[in-house]
Amino acid sequence: MTTSDAAATPAGSPAEPSSTAAKPAARDPWDLPDVSGLVIGVLGGTGDQGRGLAYRFARAGHKVIIGSRAAERAQAAADELGLGVEGAANADCARRSDVVIVAVPWEGHAKTLQALRAELAGKLVIDCVNPLGFDKKGAYALKPEEGSAAEQAAALLPESRVTAAFHHLSAVLLQDPAIAEIDTDVMVLGERRADTDLVQALTARIPGMRGVFAGRLRNAHQVESLVANLISVNRRYKAHAGLRVTDV
């Protein structure tokens, strides 16, 4: 249903309450929590996407820990970034962080999370993994058995607070220190409002970015898949395309 469909609902229909009883005031959806003190870990933080996010959050003043399958690779990437970024093995990174971003390739997603179930228990997990295939026609969306990478994460991490975000960002822009603002919205998905509010607030720590709630994890597949379209855009127009959601 579009916004105009909703507006066109006839008076007295089931969608419109007939009672005149006072309802509590709607919460301001942009009233977001203070997340400035949160420690952010990045699994697979030695790669382009993880390194880019680590750089942006460290630049925004967060304590950031880069994770890797090898602690020394994480340390080398952290030393390159500076800004107080630390490096650690993925398990240590998960244990020491409040919020953990999953930035490993789809191929290693399930195995990585299975191994970190205990370390990630109780943590806010942000999955940004896009299950994509590539052939001579370009990128295309894969169809994970669980529905999406985010749903696979939620299934593997029942004691974590799994959300999904940061799928559409360009790692090139994130890593470029000459770029002060990243002009894009970030679609944020999750099951609990407190968690998606936190992720939206974290997104807003990066100048130019805005986090927009985009539904529950069952709708993550479309968001992950859209990256195949953005890759096509980037190839045709030699761009690093982002997204904006209008009228919110």
Ligand X SMILES: NC(=O)c1ccc[n+]([C@@H]2O[C@H](COP(=O)([O-])OP(=O)(O)OC[C@H]3O[C@@H](n4cnc5c(N)ncnc54)[C@H](OP(=O)(O)O)[C@@H]3O)[C@@H](O)[C@H]2O)c1
Site residues (vs ligand X, CB under 6 A): 44, 46-50, 68-70, 73, 103-108, 112, 128-130, 167, 169-171
In this structure, are strands 99-102 and 40-43 parallel, antiparallel, or unpaired? parallel
Judge contact between 109 and 129, C-beta under 8 A.
yes
CA angle, 32 then 197 then 42, to 5°: 115
Classify burial at 175, counting beta carbons within 10 Å of its beta carbon; exposed 0-12, middle 13-18, buried 19 or more.
Answer: middle
Residues 6+ apart with CB under 8 A from 229: none
Token pair of 223, please?
């968001």
Q: Please compute, for residue 56, the number of CA atoms within 13 A of its CA located in the half-sphere on the CB side.
A: 27
CA angle, 114 then 120 then 123, to 5°: 145
Q: Which of 178, 180, 176, 174 is nearest to 242 (CA)?
A: 174
Say how many Å lie between the first and final Cα of the chain, rounded.
Answer: 16
CA angle, 63 then 64 then 68, to 5°: 155
Taking the complex as a whole, how short is the minimal distance between the CB of residue 60 and ligand X, in angstroms? 18
Q: Which is nearer to ligand X, 36 or 72 (CB)?
A: 72
Residues 6+ apart with CB under 8 A from 41: 64, 65, 66, 67, 93, 94, 96, 97, 99, 100, 101
Taking the complex as a whole, how short is the minimal distance between the CB of residue 174 and ligand X, in angstroms? 8
Neighbouring CB atoms inside 10 A of 177's CB total 8
Taking the complex as a whole, how short is the minimal distance between the CB of residue 88 and ligand X, in angstroms? 11
